[in-house]
Structure 1
């Protein structure tokens, strides 16, 4: 059965191709009949475009009535009214409607559309929108010097909805004083004169938002064009054959908003698809710009700061550094102390964190630690030479920023490592000082070839507090942990001194030759001694018993020992051996120097990884260090003019003493400071 056609409107019907990408609609040759397909498994109401009107539900009929009324309203609305209503509808819509409009209006930003729109509306501004893609393309092309000219039309930079409205002159006109105030406020938002970034000023005279006096524009009653061919449908009513046409009233926009809130998702999509056909080039350009601004919403900046910090704390330090380059807001969020405190706690820090936000706080500490570790791997350091001894420097010891050295000139010198300046000089020994130890921040000890151990007080009242006698030969080595001081001598004995009272606590005997090397664990429970008899003895400090003897099998004396955690390093000849002292097992042996190794220092950087550094100094004048687990290269430090007598290290530096009467500080911390 053929449906009736209104003879008054048949001649006005023509096929219209919808120009928007992704959506094409041709009006039916039968007036008032739009075909829709009902989708299965869709909870939303769909329009049923069956020719049999009796099958339509009341909801679908009501929706079609509303579309009829909206078609008339759109014809009567001015350009400003359309833009404001579209803005409000976009804000009421959800993500699906946003994606629909975004996809449909993308061709609007094409240059052909801009050219044709300028021809149709010469009084309007149709300027390409500045986007990240366009800016990166310009930067990439102009970077190549072979491209002398890069033709590109001037673009507009819109940051928010207010800029879009101002660009389309939808905001009320402001006077000169208000405009000056806006300029001042914008200059503050953009960071002032000292800020490295400055956003374009939309109120500049050459800006696209500045009204042009000689151009007279009128937005009232826009002429219909090829995009306005949307037909008005008629519905069969119970009492009449035609629908009653409702005139446009000031309240019709509010009624549209209420209808829009009650529509389902498919009904909203249908309305937007048909509404786009009623818009001219000006409104389409407005929608495209409005959607472009809203599509780049900074969601992280809109969240509460504590929630943003919690989200960012799950990123890696590299990702945080990249995120901090996005904007000023992101940089402030990524530099928060809470985030970097977690990063510092997750890694083994080689430097002490400074929890002061004004000084950079935890982030500065993390950066300094990362730079320092990289410098250790690559062998990059800043060298400072300390000169003061008039003879060979025989021994060094460091703790925090305090450096103590003993020399062949019979003096003990105290240095400040922060500024590398001499603090104090102690004299009193009759012969060269072969060993030094730091007892506390205010007390040091020294052992000499004159068979004595002297205790010195630091500060303005510095003096020799005690002279400890007992050894029958030169004191070659010393170590101090907790309140015990152990000294090893040429008389083949090791003496334990209680530094709380400066009294002899116990004498350990067992070696068959001179004791040249000594070290202890962090708690001073186990003491390790190396002798010219080529053996290593492990002593229990509590009762003075020798719990284990390790015969190294070397051909020369044990010249140096260094213990950390469960590992013990011993130097004999030109070789270094790593032992597991709890079992006495030999783990690894390195051929480090061609000549005899004078000193060795073991430093475990991370026991969980595992990772550790072994530092050696020899008579060949070289200082070498490498990873004890075999990863990475062997780094070599050279600079002394003669063989190196002693070496020690902490997390940030290596300190070496040489026969050339100098001390060198090899600093691996941030070289840019």
Structure 2
């Protein structure tokens, strides 16, 4: 082999090495490169992002992590609008690990002078209503008190955020008030009920209220206008909810029935009566929650799960020792199926987290509130409960256990 042949062979070997270590991802059209990255696992994406700046930019794109987030099976459903899907995945991943291990950071908020009866959350703001006639506003990340809203003449039993700055409250004094949270003032007062307003539910601009006067009322919050007054219950209405399409409303009453209403016409579509059990045959419906075609309700110490489409009871739960005060149901769409998650809380001081497909044992039982829990809600990483001992408990599962 002549010298020129050796030179050519060395040149080919060098070229092969260069080609072997060439950044192939940068040579591909961006659309093709992104298609490849979509097949990587979250861990592989993080490893690939360390190759160079270009790979890091591609692997950190929002559309890539949006797909990873949708593919993941998280125990706690997303509740807030997300703009950074990578951080959302990291937060949910850590929260899910902590949830499975039962690892959380409990925090107690003190400030009310009587039993806390209702809660509402909007991004980083938490609102709490109490029998002390006030509404307290808290900063969630820090747990610090922000301000107090005063104006109701009796206890506050319902809270819902309308916008980032507008809060709707329902009171034992028979009124519904709309508050400007930033200014701390009452902007409007809605009159219409002749008894204490026990519960409100708000979707977009439609507000549904239930009262001691046995009525369910539907309001247009934008115009502060009464749309419908729905009659049918024979006793006080303690719980209401609205579906996400604003087509149907649901109400639970002391008459032991649940009614499903058509919001366009104000007519009753159907009445459900939870199967009477010996221990709860004379108990009122204290809480209801609807999502994704399913309805959870409570009476006494029992929780029922219904399919609204078939009007059939799918499951019932009796793990609480005392009356259940709050039920929250969430339908999480995972690939081609719907996974149901449920929170229940009661006078026994427990907050149970359920997977209704396995009703024998709750996934988690949260403790901390020494007295009964009157209501609950959750966001992406926290479970929040209001207590009869005048306090609010926050169980934060977002404490980091692993860095993504």
Q: Tell me: CA distance 1:300–1:387, structure 2 relative to 1, closer, same or farther (3 Å).
A: same
Q: Tell me: CA distance 1:487–1:310, structure 2 relative to 1, closer, same or farther (3 Å).
A: closer
CA distance in 2, matches of 1:622, 1:548: 32
CA distance in 1, matches of 2:251, 2:104: 32
- 1:595 counterpart (305, 309, 322): 322
| Contact 1:340-1:366 at 8 Å conserved across structures | no
CA distance in 1, matches of 2:228, 2:87: 47
Q: Tell me: CA distance 1:303–1:489, structure 2 relative to 1, closer, same or farther (3 Å).
A: closer
Partner in structure 2 of residue 610 of structure 1: 338
| Contact 1:388-1:662 at 8 Å conserved across structures | yes
| Contact 1:308-1:333 at 8 Å conserved across structures | no
Cα shift at 1:459 = 1.4
User: How is 1:386-465 mapped onto 2 (pairs within 5 angstroms)?
Assistant: 386-460=109-183, 462-465=184-187
Partner in structure 2 of residue 542 of structure 1: 264
| Contact 2:69-2:89 at 8 Å conserved across structures | no
Gaps of 5+ in 2: 73-77
| Contact 2:332-2:340 at 8 Å conserved across structures | yes
Q: Tell me: CA distance 1:670–1:300, structure 2 relative to 1, closer, same or farther (3 Å).
A: farther
Cα shift at 1:606 = 1.8
CA distance in 2, matches of 1:365, 1:466: 36
The size of the alignment, in residue pairs, is: 386
CA distance in 2, matches of 1:613, 1:655: 16
Partner in structure 1 of residue 21 of structure 2: 298
CA distance in 2, matches of 1:524, 1:392: 32
Cα shift at 1:389 = 0.8
User: How is 1:308-323 mapped onto 2 (pairs within 5 angstroms)?
Assistant: 308-323=33-48
CA RMSD of aligned residues (A): 2.9
Q: Which has the higher strand share?
A: 2
| Contact 2:171-2:198 at 8 Å conserved across structures | yes
Partner in structure 1 of residue 75 of structure 2: none
- Aligned partner of residue 318 in structure 1, secondary structure: helix
Partner in structure 2 of residue 478 of structure 1: 200
CA distance in 1, matches of 2:81, 2:202: 23
| Contact 1:378-1:635 at 8 Å conserved across structures | no
Determine whether 1:577 maps to 2:330. no
CA distance in 2, matches of 1:500, 1:354: 27
- Aligned partner of residue 340 in structure 2, secondary structure: strand
Determine whether 1:366 maps to 2:89. yes
Question: Normalization by structure 2: what TM-score?
Answer: 0.85
Q: Tell me: CA distance 1:547–1:353, structure 2 relative to 1, closer, same or farther (3 Å).
A: closer
Cα shift at 1:323 = 4.6
- 1:512 counterpart (199, 219, 234): 234
Q: For residues 124-169 of structure 1, what are the alpha-carbon distances to aligned partners after superposition, in whole Å with 9 as ceiling and x for unaligned?
A: xxxxxxxxxxxxxxxxxxxxxxxxxxxxxxxxxxxxx7xxxxxxxx
- Structure ID, larger Rg: 1
User: How is 1:31-50 mapped onto 2 (pairs within 5 angstroms)?
Assistant: none
Cα shift at 1:442 = 2.3
Q: Which has the higher helix share?
A: 1
- Aligned partner of residue 424 in structure 1, secondary structure: strand
Q: Tell me: CA distance 1:92–1:457, structure 2 relative to 1, closer, same or farther (3 Å).
A: closer
CA distance in 2, matches of 1:487, 1:309: 48
User: How is 1:619-638 mapped onto 2 (pairs within 5 angstroms)?
Assistant: 619-630=347-358, 634-638=363-367
Higher RCO, 1 or 2 (CA under 8 Å, sep at least 6)? 2
CA distance in 1, matches of 2:138, 2:24: 50
- Aligned partner of residue 167 in structure 2, secondary structure: strand
Determine whether 1:89 maps to 2:4. no
CA distance in 2, matches of 1:329, 1:440: 43
Cα shift at 1:366 = 2.7
Query: Which one is further off, 405-414 or 364-373?
Result: 364-373
| Contact 1:475-1:490 at 8 Å conserved across structures | yes
Determine whether 1:644 maps to 2:373. yes
Determine whether 1:345 maps to 2:265. no
Question: Normalization by structure 1: what TM-score?
Answer: 0.53
